[in-house]
Structure formats: C-alpha cells, structure tokens
Amino acid sequence: MARVAVPTNLKILLARSRSLAFKAKRKGSILLREEARRLRNITRSELKRFQQEQLAKSLTARHKSGSDSVLFWNRTKKHFRAALSSLRGLISSSGESFKD
C-alpha cells in the first residue's frame, strides 16, 4: 500500500485557485476573489472525495490476500504491544464472542 500521489488535475486546480487568490489580492478585485473562492471550494471537495475513495480502497485491500495486505500488517504489527498479542476469544458470524 504505497502512498498515493494527488492526481495532476487536482494539483493544477489547487495552483490555479492559489494564483487567482493572489491576483485578486494584488488587484483588489471582488470578482476575482469570488472566483478564487469558488474554485478553491470545488478543488477541496474533489480532493476530499479522492481521499475518501483511496481510504475505502485501502481498507478493502487490507483484508484481502496479497502483497498490499502483507505490507500493511507487517508495518502494523510492530505497534502492537506484547501484552495485547494473545488471543482471548473469537467472534462468531452471529456477533457473539466465545473463548476457545
């Protein structure tokens, strides 16, 4: 599960909204400022949607067999404390827990 880069189109939108905001500040234009705000809000919502998609994708890939899940669990297991590594019980498909 390598870190996913932000798509190029979102980087371009972020840069464009930033440059419009600076231009609006420099010229004192209210119209440019509103356009920069609109573009920034659109970009933020697109970025948030992209991040949510990536999170959902990584959460589903975490529990499938493959190199991504092995990489995740190998990285994660070093954060478990030794006292927490014992198995205390199992949860059945109905939701109740039982001890072996």
- Residue 35 located in a structural domain: yes
* 90 phi and psi angles, rounded to 5 deg: -125, 155
Per the structure, the count of domains in the chain is 1
- Residue 85 located in a structural domain: no
- Residue 84 located in a structural domain: no
pTM across the whole model: 0.60
Torsion of CA 56, 58, 60, 66, to 10 degrees: 160
Are 39 and 20 in contact, with CB atoms under 8 Å apart? yes
Are 66 and 1 in contact, with CB atoms under 8 Å apart? no
Sequential pLDDT tens for the chain (100 residues)? 456 788 899 999 999 999 999 999 999 999 999 999 999 999 999 999 999 998 888 778 777 777 767 777 777 777 666 555 555 566 677 777 666 5
- Residue 30 located in a structural domain: yes
- Residue 17 located in a structural domain: yes
| CA–CA distance, 19 with 75 (Å, rounded to integer) | 39
- Residue 86 located in a structural domain: no
